Structure 1
Amino acid sequence: MREWTILGAGALGCTFAALLNEQQRPVSLILSERHRRHFNPAFEFIALNERRRLVSPHYRFADQAAATECLLVMTKAYQVLPALKSLHNLPRHVPVILLHNGMGVAEQVASLLPHNPLLAGVTSHGALREGPWQIRHTGKGETWLGPLNEQGKAFSHLLAPLSAALGHAGWSEDILSLQHRKLAINAVINPLTACHHIRNGQLAEPRFADVLATLGEEVHRVLSRLGESDTPEQYQRRLNSVIELTATNYSSMHQDLAHGRPTEIDYITGYLLKHAGDLPVPVCQQLYNEVKKQGG
């Protein structure tokens, strides 16, 4: 039985660990060095039905990467490269799945790990850290994986255990398009909720109608330049649906700013600004500047 190793013991990483553990799948979490002398043997997981249980995965540190069989990278986007660079003895045959917000990291990972099978994923599961070693699963959604290199194409069989644990896992040969779709949603919801200190659902209030429309137009134009074929109407319906489905959630960027942590703005809005070229995107730029000003 393949053990799943998760790099990134944040809210979503711990949620995936708990869901895999519930299916009797061996799971390990790679912790940062600051936990070497002080960490809990278990974390409390609060499921969607409010059931609470203690989860006890295996804990490892970077110098134990040689034991890895399958690596799920679930750190923040800006942590991906430093975290992978610390895994000096990661075997070349181990599949590495990038499951982080934002874009712009995969190319650097491909240079860092030229021999490993590389895959990317997108997920709409939601999770929240409620306290030290206390994780709440806030939303169930779809998860998609796809290959980033030729070696990665041989690992679609990883879907079966993931699907059993998560409720859904699909395979896409065009994972880039799915990443773009998620980025297009995050580039609206995350900076707006972070700057205005609100839950996702509050974006449906009339006061945000104009900025939602203008920002949505900007994001759609950039995604069209990147080759995406969604019409503005299709994109707007998907955006409104996500806002409604995650109405009670706080976005990850909101949580990062609220707790004084760095945000992933450079890999979300920053990615769009980088690829906008001569397209006018003033609202994207304004939100990027504001998140940076607030410490992100």
Structure 2
Amino acid sequence: MDLNVKITVLGAGAIGSLWAVALKQQQHDVQVWTRSSDSEYSVNYQDLNGNTHPLLFTANSVEHLSQSDLLLVTVKSFQVEVALAPIIKLIPNSCLIVIMHNGIGSHEAVKALFSNHCVFYATTSQAALKADAKLQHTGNGQTFIGSLFSANSSYNVLTEVFNQALSPCYWQDDIMEPLWKKLAINCAINPLTAIYQCTNGELANKNYQAQLIQVCNEVTLVMRAEGYRVKNDELYQQALTVINATADNYSSMNRDVFYQRPTEIDYITGYLIHRAKKFDIAVPVNTQLWQTIISMESSYHA
């Protein structure tokens, strides 16, 4: 893969659009694959300095997809299989696949779909907001990328492409570790901000600390059982750091509940509960949060 890459971004949400913009600004040939059949996708991008850039992308081009060097999948975790199924036969075997979403748990379906492709997972703390055609980059963060199915570090060029677009981006030999660390933060922040319909920063208030600490303690137990070294209050301190750094932001789950959309709870807290059962570890606080979100979702159209 040379450094002028033909890319398809599957998913035109905030994060997908942010990466599409950043990759296009590095002169890569980027198209966006959306749920509509439109042949163009436009976005009015506001960068971290407040400057706006109107950008126009090719969209939903079968020809572009069939020639793509890289497919970046940024749909929500529960949409991955459904979004990929109709286009799977159009993706060339030489195309690198990068899956980037909150939570863990889509990898079994992805592995079954892509027996002939090199598949990578990525996790990012870059932050963006999207409303209609307006896209705002709201916070810088780091991105980790690695292969979930083989220890293949020969794709440093892939890391380089991402790093030039939105730095920093790091290659990770064990991508499950940063995926778990992101999962821990999501378990701490997403359900609480969704249930209480508050900003991330409001979780710094003392009335939320007991729940935050309990959530993080339960995640710590499961992560240790998974083989990761986690200090006693490490996850809680990391959660507080993110809460303070993104104080004015709404979590994705908060917005999903606000707009009465399906959440990624089954791939965040649900995945934690699934792994906890394997190790016979009780996670009552996380289980209660999971049940509350599921109940909220089921009442959307009641």
Fold similarity call, TM over 0.5: yes
Give 1:64 shift. 5.9
Of 16-25 and 258-267, more deviation after overlay is shown by 16-25
User: Of 291, 294, 297, which aligns to 1:295?
Assistant: 297
Structure-2 separation of matches of 1:40 and 1:62: 13
The number of equivalent residue pairs is 292
Structure-2 separation of matches of 1:288 and 1:263: 11
Give 1:134 shift. 1.2
The root-mean-square deviation of aligned C-alpha atoms, in Å, is: 1.7
Does 1:255 find its partner at 2:255?
yes
Change (3 A) 1:148 1:52: same
2:181 paired residue number? 181
Amino acid at match of 1:140: N
Give 1:233 shift. 2.3
Structure-1 separation of matches of 2:65 and 2:56: 19
Structure-1 separation of matches of 2:218 and 2:112: 31
Change (3 A) 1:65 1:40: closer
Structure-2 separation of matches of 1:63 and 1:251: 36
Give 1:150 shift. 3.6
What SS does structure 2 have at the residue aligned with 1:243? Answer: helix
Of 174-183 and 55-64, more deviation after overlay is shown by 55-64
Give the gaps of 5 or more residues in structure 1.
Answer: none
Q: How far does the alpha carbon of each residue in 1:23-56 deviate from its partner, in whole angstroms, 9 at most, with x for none?
A: 2222111111xx225x764211111111111111
Conserved in 1, the CA contact under 8 Å of 2:42 and 2:54? yes
User: Of 10, 24, 27, which aligns to 1:24?
Assistant: 27
Conserved in 2, the CA contact under 8 Å of 1:14 and 1:135? yes
What SS does structure 1 have at the residue aligned with 2:272? Answer: helix
Conserved in 2, the CA contact under 8 Å of 1:62 and 1:86? no
1:53 paired residue number? 53
1:75 paired residue number? 75
Change (3 A) 1:22 1:279: same
Give 1:227 shift. 1.4
Q: How far does the alpha carbon of each residue in 1:253-272 deviate from its partner, in whole angstroms, 9 at most, with x for none?
A: 00111111100000000001
Of 274-283 and 8-17, more deviation after overlay is shown by 274-283
Give 1:153 shift. 3.9
Give 1:234 shift. 2.0
Please show how residues 184-195 of structure 1 align to structure 2 within 5 Å.
184-195=184-195
Percent identical across equivalent pairs? Answer: 33
Q: How far does the alpha carbon of each residue in 1:266-292 deviate from its partner, in whole angstroms, 9 at most, with x for none?
A: 000000110112222111111111111
Amino acid at match of 1:214: Q
Conserved in 2, the CA contact under 8 Å of 1:116 and 1:151? no
TM-score, L = length of structure 1: 0.94
2:10 paired residue number? 7
Conserved in 2, the CA contact under 8 Å of 1:21 and 1:55? no
Conserved in 2, the CA contact under 8 Å of 1:193 and 1:250? yes
Change (3 A) 1:209 1:151: closer
Conserved in 1, the CA contact under 8 Å of 2:217 and 2:233? no
